Amino acid sequence: MIRGARQTGKTWVCREFGKGFTTFIEINLEVQTQLHRVFDQHFGDPEKLIKQLAFELKTTIVKGETLLFLDEIQECESAIKSLRYFKEKLPELHVISTGSLLEFKLKRLGVPVGRVSFCWLFPMNFEEFLWAHHVESAYDKELSVDAIFQEHLAHYLMIGGLPEVVDTWIKTENLFECQNVLQRLAGTYRTDFNRYGSDKEIRVLQTIFDKIPRYWGQKTKYSLLSENHRAVEVKNAIDLLRDAGLVSPCYKVSGNGLPLRAEANFDHFKLFSLDLGLGQRLLNLDLKNYSWSDYIHIGGLMEQFIAGEIRSYTSLNFESEIFYWQREQKGAKAELDFIINRGTEIVPVEVKAGKNRHHPSLSKFIEEKKSSCAIHLSALDNFDFPFSKEKIIHFIPFWRFFQTL
């Protein structure tokens, strides 16, 4: 089951994957509603189920050769239930599924652990953006390579990684056209609020959804996000937006060991949007008249970029989580933008919007936690790549961060 926010390319990915099978059968359960009764009648007997589906679709389904793709599976609860029995009674048949706002349906129905494998899909990360432009993500330290990376990063920070927007940019190189697509997608997400919130909740959802890009990288309070709603209402709205894949909380952790989540403080958090470009549109940034010299939110923008990169490199079958570190000791306060783990190692990450090599918080973390590796991200031209085992702090430019993950 492919999970993730709408408009991230889940259906396209499944169709591309299907090209590797002898036969590929796609069922859209939002459109082909006449097939719901087949799942209702036979969801517990996959042999009968596929025979009846083959009859209805006038095709053949061959175990071991056919990929059965159930799209918009949230529209048919029996189809979700059938996944368990495909695994238990017909494991030789290849089945893949996806849907819109699937998280809300799964919360109510549940899916048996071990019967269904989950993969999470996010907007295209920067490396995938380079691939889309036929730019090899070279690991050599050549000035020409970095100049190319920087040029593409400037565009990526404006339009983001939603596939339709990236496709529009590649075909037209027209920022105004990309802006129009982003405006339409933002409207689509807002329309979805009617599907997973009450009338009262919708107003809070709208407020939080639009405000989050203003606070990228900042520690957030419920009252800061909305003065007109109670904290419990704001928290509920954030939870709904997280379930829809539109927001990613970044929680405070102690950084003493793994797993990081074990020491997370869920009352202290920052919030990041699904996508850079979507956030730019919510801020009403006019892309066609855009100039970096006029941008006043560069620090938050770069933290949003790094948050998206960290999230996208999480193992496919794990729901991504992002964390930051903060120490509140009197006279010794320190904060790091992100804490990640590489294998069994905890790696602190500091993000600097300009070319500043100053890193007091990074040094304090290293001293306190005895870290053997730390990453300092900035727009520096002089940087450390590849990693040297002799160094603890590695100075890496934003456009090469993906090569450290």
Q: What is the 3-state secondary structure (H, E, C) of the chain?
A: CEECCCCCCHHHHHHHHHCCCCEEEEEECCCCHHHHHHHHHHCCCHHHHHHHHHHHHCCCCCCCCEEEEEECHHHCHHHHHHHHHHHHHCCCCEEEEECCCHHHHHHHHCCCCCCCCCEECCCCCHHHHHHHCCCCCCCCCCHHHHHHHHHHHHHHHHHCCCHHHHHHHHHHCCHHHHHHHHHHHHHHHHHHHHHHCCHHHHHHHHHHHHHHHHHCCCCECHHHHCCCCCHHHHHHHHHHHHHCCCEEEEEEECCCCCCHHHHCEEEEEEEEECCHHHHHHHCCCCHHHCCHHHCCCHHHHHHHHHHHHHHHCCCCCCCCCEEEEEECCCCCCEEEEEEEEECCEEEEEEECCCCCCCCHHHHHHHHHHCCCCEEEEECCCCCCCCCCCCCCEEEEEHHHHHHHC
Query: CATH 3.40.50.300 residue ranges in the chain?
Result: 2-120
* The token pair that represents 228 in the structure block: 């007109």
Domain 2-120 has CATH 3.30.70.260: no
How would you write the pLDDT of the chain (405 residues) with one tens digit per residue?
A: 999 999 999 999 999 999 999 999 999 999 999 999 999 999 999 999 999 999 999 999 999 999 999 999 999 999 999 999 999 999 999 999 998 888 888 877 777 667 889 999 999 999 999 999 999 765 555 657 888 999 999 999 999 999 999 999 999 999 999 999 999 999 999 999 988 778 888 999 999 999 999 999 999 888 888 888 899 999 999 999 999 999 999 999 999 999 999 999 998 999 999 999 999 999 998 887 766 656 678 899 999 999 999 999 988 777 789 999 998 776 678 899 999 988 889 999 999 987 778 888 999 999 999 999 999 999 887 676 666 677 899 999 999 999 888
The whole-number pLDDT of residue 59 equals 96
Q: pTM of the full predicted structure?
A: 0.92
The whole-number pLDDT of residue 137 equals 65
